[in-house]
Amino acid sequence: MRENLPAAVGTEALRAAYRQVFTTLKVDLRFDIQQTEVSEDMAWLRATSKGRIRTLATGVDTAESFNDLVIFGRERGMWKIRCYLYASNKPGTGTPQ
């Protein structure tokens, strides 16, 4: 158990999250950029993505599509992702429980 170890934060937390995603899913998405804007040291990008996602443990393959928003900040001359939001653009399947 990890209860006595500190939780991962920052870059390590992000690496751990992506490791988990790519060991459990096969993601095959195409991204289409809809809008971008840059203002000094901040920028944003709006996109849509669509494709297939397979759950590796079960082999279940589903068609997916998302709306994406990425916020960038320039730090020491390099662009870094500050925030990445995505949400399914498929209609819901019922009332949330």
Measured distance CA(23)–CA(62) in Å, rounded: 17
CA distances from 75 to 11, 38, 79, 80 (A): 15, 14, 6, 7
Judged against a pLDDT cut of 70, whether residue 19 lies above it is answered with yes
Q: Are 26 and 54 in contact (CB under 8 A)?
A: yes
pTM above the 0.85 mark?
no
Distance from C-alpha of 44 to C-alpha of 50, rounded to nearest angstrom: 20
CA 88/CA 64 separation, integer angstroms: 7
Give me the pLDDT at residue 5, please.
52
What is d(CA 16, CA 49) in angstroms, rounded to the nearest whole number? Answer: 23
User: Residue 94's pLDDT is what?
Assistant: 59
Cα three-residue angle 30-92-54, rounded to 5 degrees? 40
Q: Average pLDDT, stretch 61-78?
A: 95
User: What pLDDT, on a 0 to 100 scale, did the predictor assign at position 1?
Assistant: 43
